[in-house]
Amino acid sequence: MDMIDKLIIEFGRATVAHWSVAQNRDWLEYIKTLLLEKKVKNLLEIGTFKGVTTAFMSQFVNHIYTIDKNTIHSKGKIFPIDLWKFLGIKNITYKIMNSGSLEFKKFLKGISFDFVFIDGEHISPFPAIDFDTTKSCGRVLFHDYFKNNRFPGINLVVDKLSSVEINEPFAYWEETSDEKD
């Protein structure tokens, strides 16, 4: 039984439903392949939600820093922490903060990361803010990019970039020499 099945049994099917990347095994497989191919060490995630995708990704990297502007509760506990404890995961740092805040900028100065997974607020100006604040690490994966402009705030950022690999609903960007400031 894999990690996602275990979580569904313990916490219910709703754990992986709706907003989470974990609702789709092909999407998880895409992320797993990318993280392994790119040999990602320290990953920053914007948009923890229930922490299921965070848990999944934690298997393939050294450490994950993940932030969310909201706490998600279940059984009176903070759900992501509950869930990671259940799985015995110890390589996740979780902060409740807004990616647009000064607090987040300060937090970034104290950590080192080589890959960002942007899956927070989908409307403008947040995807642009999230990208600008974190792009210095050189590798950014956006979730919920659709060519049909379903989330215009995300297209506004991604469509301007060269060296983007589109794999709906993902867009993966890597810095190239011509995109350096």
Ligand X SMILES: C[S@@+](CC[C@H](N)C(=O)[O-])C[C@H]1O[C@@H](n2cnc3c(N)ncnc32)[C@H](O)[C@@H]1O
Binding positions for ligand X, rule: CB under 6 A: 19-22, 46-47, 49-50, 52-53, 67-70, 98-100, 119-121, 126
Distance CA 61, CA 92 (A): 10
Beta bridge partners of 66: 45, 94
At its nearest, how many Å lie between ligand X and the CB of residue 54?
7
At its nearest, how many Å lie between ligand X and the CB of residue 120?
4
At its nearest, how many Å lie between ligand X and the CB of residue 178?
30
Cβ proximity to ligand X: between 52 and 173 the closer is: 52
| Neighbour count for residue 157 (Cβ, 10 Å) | 25
Cβ proximity to ligand X: between 105 and 176 the closer is: 105
Residue 169, preceding bond cis, omega within 30 degrees? yes
- CA distances 121 to 14, 100, 155, Å, are 21, 10, 13
Whether the CB-CB separation of 62 and 89 falls below 8 Å is answered with no
Cβ proximity to ligand X: between 9 and 96 the closer is: 96
Cβ proximity to ligand X: between 152 and 179 the closer is: 152
At its nearest, how many Å lie between ligand X and the CB of residue 177?
30
Distance CA 18, CA 135 (A): 27
